[in-house]
Amino acid sequence: MDIRSSFAQQAYGAGRSIAQPKPQEQAAAGPDFAKIAQNFAQTVQQGEAQAQAAMTTGADPHALVTALAETSLAVETAVTVRDKVVEAYQEILRMPV
């Protein structure tokens, strides 16, 4: 057996155990993402409700503009995050194996 392949096997075994995900880290990230998604949905719903109120009851136009701006910002942020995730995924696909 070549001594270099033995070192490579040891290094691979050590690196493999280090690179495995830990359950605590995954559990901590889940609720944060769910909270962000819930906040996004709530912002969009508030914007829609404010727009409906402005059309039907003649609610405050200033509140309508503010709600629409918040909704627009939330959608732009979601699109930017989505684009970054897709870009990262494509970069991973381009990596040589």
Three-state DSSP state, 3: helix
pLDDT of amino acid 85 = 94
Q: How far apart, in whole angstroms, are the C-alpha atoms of residue 38 and residue 51?
A: 20
Q: Give the Å distances, CA to CA, from 70 to 16, 81, 83.
A: 44, 17, 20
pLDDT of amino acid 88 = 94
Note whether residue 1 is domain-resident.
Answer: no
Note whether residue 12 is domain-resident.
Answer: no
Note whether residue 78 is domain-resident.
Answer: yes
Note whether residue 14 is domain-resident.
Answer: no
Note whether residue 2 is domain-resident.
Answer: no
Note whether residue 18 is domain-resident.
Answer: no
> Given CA atoms 30, 35, 86, 45 in this order, what sign does their dihedral have?
positive
Whether the per-residue pLDDT at 9 is higher than 80: the answer is no
Q: What is the pLDDT of residues 39-68, one digit of tens each?
A: 888 988 888 888 888 888 877 888 888 888
Q: Give the Å distances, CA to CA, from 64 to 54, 72, 95, 96.
A: 7, 12, 47, 51
Whether the per-residue pLDDT at 32 is higher than 80: the answer is yes
